[in-house]
Amino acid sequence: MPIERNTRDMGNPQFWDSWWEERISKRRTAMFMFPIVEAPMIKYGGTYVDVVNSDDLLLAIMSEYGLKKVLCAGNGLSQEPRALARAGYDVTALDLSPKASELAKTHEFSPNDFNYFCAPGAERPGGHLDFVVGNFLDTAACPGPFDVIIERRTVQLFPEQDLPKALQALARRLGNVGIFLSHCNDGAYPSKGRQHFHASESWFREQRWMIWDGAPATTLSGRVAWLLRSSG
């Protein structure tokens, strides 16, 4: 069932509770807790990495630059925040749906679950995790500042005219030096001569953000947009 690109629904907790309840009734929760999506392999440091389905490179960069605070916006059921907290980071998972937040919070997270997101041995002490119910368009909810903001396949659901408002609301929460990781799934496999599409790229370029297009391209000295693409 496709999600309607409707401004009213995007800010309606009841709509999203119903949407999640339907998926739960069909036993389709694992694909949202531990999503696997087709994505291009990125070459970084002489090695090809899957930066869409793994946080290993993100963790390495956060460690290198001393980044600690993470916001997972529009988190849904994803267990990525749990993995990042297990890796020693201070993580906030923000979602509009009380149902999604409760399910994400109460899932019994196993060592194998951690290894889905991060390499074995990446666990570190000192991490913290909060699940918060709220609308990320309301900048009073989890105001930050955060060192890293992660939004995966959420902003792209907004009607095109509302994309700038959604992106600006998240960008206001990012510190002066930090990473805005935005993951877009364009729903179609790339063919010859066709590249993956990222719904938010034009906004970041218009706002003159430094863009990491698929992989880090510069030293982190300010705010960067790390744009990840997937399909299917």
Domains of the chain: which residue ranges? 40-230
Q: Tell which CATH classification among 3.40.50.150, 2.70.160.11, 3.30.420.40, 3.90.1150.10 matches the domain 40-230.
A: 3.40.50.150
188 pLDDT above the threshold of 80:
no
Residues 32-53 have a mean pLDDT of 92
pLDDT tens for each residue of 109-140:
999 999 999 999 999 999 999 999 999 999 99
What value does the mean pLDDT take over residues 16-40? Answer: 92
Q: Is 91's pLDDT higher than 50?
A: yes
Q: Tens digits of per-residue pLDDT, 53-75? A: 999 999 999 999 999 999 999 99
Question: In whole angstroms, how far apart are CA 103 and each of 9, 20, 75, 79, 219?
Answer: 20, 10, 11, 10, 38
Q: Work out the average pLDDT over 179-208.
A: 82
Angle, helices 98-106/13-25, rounded to nearest 10 degrees: 50
d(CA 18, CA 25): 10
The token pair at 20 is 């999640």
Tell me the C-alpha distance between 133 and 101, whole Å. 7
Integer CA distances (angstroms), 62 to 17, 67, 87, 89, 175, in order: 33, 5, 11, 9, 14
The number of residues in the chain equals 232
Torsion of CA 110, 115, 119, 122, to 10 degrees: -20
Residue 215 has pLDDT above 90, yes or no: yes
DSSP string, 180-206: EEEEEE-SS---TT-----TTHHHHHH
* Mean pLDDT value across residues 34-45: 91
Average pLDDT of the residues of the chain? 92
